[in-house]
């Protein structure tokens, strides 16, 4: 079922749990919202799932949704998906086969270790996905969007 096939609303109860409300159907308590494709289509293919993981609704595109509903979904996704976006690179130190990164992200400063070159993946739109040694994922914007010092710090690695 897609969002285009039905109307729906998401309501937060007093404890912050989500309730899926659809006309002519019983409300579904304790639903979750997840991206199906977080890297390639941030505004597309968002799944609403029951507490047992069963998909109740697939939203193909967030843009036609009512602004308040779209804002609720985006806020929930931002809270539940922790992928810091690197905004500036202070230093990348290559040591004994691994890299130590010191960066600024949209969620504050971070320092992490990248074990393998394969842990830095180029994405089709020019961004990079970086997985650190603890399996945390960071998003790095395309190189042309970085400041000159940040570009210089990483160009040899990418």
Instruction: Provide the pLDDT for residue 93.
Output: 92
pLDDT at 4 over 70: no
Q: Quick check: 145 pLDDT over 80?
A: yes
pLDDT digits (tens, 9 = 90+) for 21-76: 999 999 999 999 988 876 567 788 899 999 998 999 999 999 999 999 999 998 88
Residues 129, 142 share a domain: yes
Quickly tell me which residue has 């040591």 as its tokens: 95
Measured distance CA(33)–CA(18) in Å, rounded:
9
Are residues 11 and 75 both part of a single domain?
yes
Q: How many whole angstroms separate alpha carbon 109 and alpha carbon 46? A: 29
Q: How would you write 39-95 as a 3-class SS string?
A: CCCCCEEEEEECCCCCEEEEEEECCCCCHHHHHHHHHHHHHHCCCCEEEEEEEEEEE
Cβ neighbours for 131, distance < 8 A, ≥ 6 positions apart: 114, 119, 120, 121, 137, 138
Q: How many structural domains comprise the chain? A: 2
pTM of the model: 0.57
Mean pLDDT of 98-122: 93
What was the pLDDT predicted at 6?
55
Residues 12 and 76 in one domain: yes
Q: Which of 45, 62, 80 is the last residue of a domain?
A: 80
pLDDT of 81 > 80? The answer is: no
| Residues 74 and 94 occupy one common structural domain | no
- For residues 42 and 98, membership in a common domain is answered with no
Q: Which long-range contacts (CB under 8 A, 24 or more apart) does 98-101 make?
A: 98/133, 99/157, 101/130, 101/132
Q: Which of 38-42, 75-79, 119-123 has the lowest mean pLDDT?
A: 38-42
Decide if pLDDT at 80 tops 80.
Answer: no
The residue assigned the tokens 């998906």 is 81
Same domain, 14 and 37: yes
Q: 105: domain range?
A: 85-154
């Amino acid at each position: 079922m897609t969002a285009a096939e039905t109307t729906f609303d998401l309501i937060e109860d007093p404890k912050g749990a989500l309730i899926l409300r659809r006309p002519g159907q019983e409300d579904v308590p304790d639903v979750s919202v997840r991206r199906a494709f977080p890297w390639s289509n941030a505004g597309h293919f968002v799944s609403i799932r029951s507490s047992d993981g069963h998909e109740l609704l697939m939203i193909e595109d967030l843009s036609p949704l009512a602004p308040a509903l779209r804002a609720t979904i985006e806020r929930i996704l931002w809270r539940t998906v922790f992928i810091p976006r690197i905004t500036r690179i202070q230093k990348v130190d290559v040591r004994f086969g691994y890299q130590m990164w010191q960066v600024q992200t949209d969620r504050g400063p971070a320092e992490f270790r990248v074990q393998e070159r394969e842990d830095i993946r180029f994405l089709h739109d020019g961004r990079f996905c970086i997985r650190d040694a603890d399996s945390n994922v960071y998003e790095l914007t395309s190189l042309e969007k970085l400041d000159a010092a940040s570009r210089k710090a990483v160009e040899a690695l990418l």
